[in-house]
Amino acid sequence: MTNKEFEHHNAESSPPTSFLASCDEGIVITGIGVVLPNTRTVDQFWTNISQGRSQIGRLTRFDGEAAGLPVHAAAEINGFDHHAFLPELTDGHAAKYSREILITMSAVAEARRDAGLPIDGIDPRRLGIVMSSSRGPLAWWRDVLTGADPAAFGDKGAMFRGMAGCPATLSAIYNNAQGLVTTISNACVGGHQAIGLALRELRSGAADAMLVGGHEFPIMPEVVSCYRAAGKGVMSTERDDPSRAVRPYSADREGFALGEGSVVLCLERESTAKARGARIYSEVLSAASLNEAAHPTTMDLTGKVTASLIEDALADAGRSAADVDYFCAHGTATRYNDIAETRALRALYPEASAAQLPPISSNKPIYGHTFGMAGIINVAATSLMVHHQAIAPTINLTTRDPECDHDHVFEGLRPARLDLAVSMSFAFGSQTSVVTVGAPS
């Protein structure tokens, strides 16, 4: 988020709005598919976040200096081959798709494989796919409109490569998913909202399983220019050590680095999952989202609006703030984001000392900022923390910002009793969202 002058927000004018009604039927995560930088399996994902192994490296996708952009780090996917993930996709069809589509389809297929959900193991009319992406196939359109690829419209694949919803629809064809298939585009809260929409489908009885994910490929000079224009401290300019480019809550933070890839969750009704003997990572208890209808580029800086939204989500889950064991932060390493999260915790626990606040950490230093996919990564990470009963750390946090003086997990993987956790996201457009995750029953 930007670093303009702080603006006062009237918490009373922005009441939180529930994203869904509560329901008795439990919804669980049984599969996690990841195609991220140097990460192709859920085990690699857990190793990287739990051991604090940053996948942010030297920016190679374009020459930042030549473009007049002092940005040197990004979390890039290199050398990806879809064949291992999509063995039934012919090369003829794959040639019509883009890199982005193939990566996303691979993450969807991996989530289903990790869940142990075979093609013939579910009524296809009761399987859906909901995806989130803030910008869709921006790189393809850039090349078309600038003439970098003059033949882009010259084959039948152009229809696929240019549509933001095609990663979901083509995944549906490959997986024979005949239920609700759609794509949300709503900046950094889109991933949480995709989960909320999937919860509605499952709790209404319209679906038995939903593949819910995000895909984002923003490593482009045009995207960097947009965020650089938002002000100093939004994008990291770290040159010497790319792995330290993102430093949430640290006094020397200077913004985020871009990341790319796709992460997909397999959500199922608990009764269906248990009936087939599925391994369960966690239970998704609730999702809540609001638009503050206030400042378009900053979040609630009183903390009261976000705290109210968290309370609303917890109430949907039949829980309270006193039950929360951990917060998985948006954690962009920008001053507004860091302070907003701190103030939200203080508003949520007004009587608690800093040391008494529940622990918090961010995975942005590992995979960078992925916008429409960020909420999905957070919920995937939170689910694995609940599954392993340990909190993954915020790396690169050295000297804490005095305004963020509470329980940051930065010393390394911290064993903990995790029965209830909250994932948070903030987005341009005055938007906030949370998803609550619990240990399976």
| The one catalytic residue among 9, 72, 295, 330 | 330
Q: Are 248 and 333 in contact (CB under 8 A)?
A: yes
Is residue 269 pLDDT above 90, yes or no? Answer: yes
What does the block give as tokens for 172? 């549906």
Active site residue 188: yes
Which CATH code fits 19-438? 3.40.47.10
Give CA separation, 408 vs 20, 302, 347, 375, 422, in Å. Answer: 30, 20, 17, 20, 15
Please give the pLDDT value at position 5. Answer: 29
| The one catalytic residue among 188, 266, 328, 404 | 188
Active site residue 369: yes
Residues 6+ away with beta carbon under 8 Å from 5 = none
Is residue 164 pLDDT above 70, yes or no? Answer: yes
Residue 192's nearest CA partner among 274, 265, 260, 99 is 265
Dump pLDDT digits (tens) for 17-26: 344 434 578 9
Is residue 156 pLDDT above 80, yes or no? Answer: no
| The one catalytic residue among 369, 387, 406, 408 | 369
What pTM was computed for the model? 0.93
Dump pLDDT digits (tens) for 325-356: 999 999 999 998 999 999 999 999 999 998 89
Active site residue 328: no
Q: Are 299 and 340 in contact (CB under 8 A)?
A: yes
Dump pLDDT digits (tens) for 62-111: 998 888 999 999 999 999 999 999 999 999 999 999 999 999 999 999 99
Could you please report the per-residue DSSP string of 255-267? -B-EE-EEEEEEE
Please give the pLDDT value at position 297. Answer: 72
